[in-house]
Amino acid sequence: MTRRIVLATGNTGKLKEMHEIFSIIDVDIVAQSEFDTPEAIEDGLSFVENAIIKARNAAAHTGLPALSDDSGIEVDALNGEPGIHSARYAGDDESNIQRLLRELESVVEEKRTARFQCVMVYLRHANDPVPVIAHGVWEGRILRTTQGQGGFGYDPVFYVPERRCSAAELMAEDKNALSHRGKALRQMLELLQTNSSN
């Protein structure tokens, strides 16, 4: 029997990525927006806490098992900022990028190291005491100007050393193979497959 899992986001890009990677197992992933689920209040102090908050909220309002992720970018020269505040750093994507570039204006190339973090959580129900947790990391550095038209968020200023381009210049398949979210998704898929009683 096909299991239905609610995805704790209304982001169509994330939903598409999930469908592609999870297509090999018998699950039907639906966005929480289909259930008029209110947005969770992300007041955790870590990616793990915020991902759990979002999953519990989606499971509570839909009665379905829930999958959520929380992700962001950590910049070493800024002591890990913007971190869990990445999406709300200055407002929208463009404002976030401009603020980040201003903050790093005087920082030399070798000190502009950064990484994307993604924590993914699966809950069988809203009160599940043992969340399944997956984690992906993507190392790179921050460019001085934007490059590329693809992706979203901080992708245009995130330099990918192994491809010698920004994340916004990668083809979708290449990005899914390298990215923090792609890694976390594949890890979560393995965890759910090995524990199919979920």
pTM of the model: 0.90
Using DSSP bridges, classify how beta strands 165-166 and 158-160 pair: parallel, antiparallel or unpaired. antiparallel
Supply the pLDDT for residue 1: 64
Q: Judging by beta carbons within 10 Å of its beta carbon (0-12, 13-18, 19+), is residue 62 exposed, middle or buried?
A: buried
What domains can you pick out in the chain, each with its CATH number? 3-194 (3.90.950.10)
Q: What is d(CA 176, CA 126) in angstroms, rounded to the nearest whole number?
A: 29
Nearest to 180 by CA among 51, 16, 69, 43: 69
Span 126-183, pLDDT tens digits: 999 999 999 999 999 999 999 999 888 999 999 999 999 999 999 988 998 999 999 9
Q: What is d(CA 103, CA 125) in angstroms, rounded to the nearest whole number?
A: 41
Active site residue 174: no
Q: What is d(CA 122, CA 69) in angstroms, rounded to the nearest whole number?
A: 9
Q: Is the pLDDT of residue 198 over 50?
A: no
Catalytic, out of 70, 76, 93, 155: 70
> Which residue would you say has higher pLDDT here, 33 or 81?
81
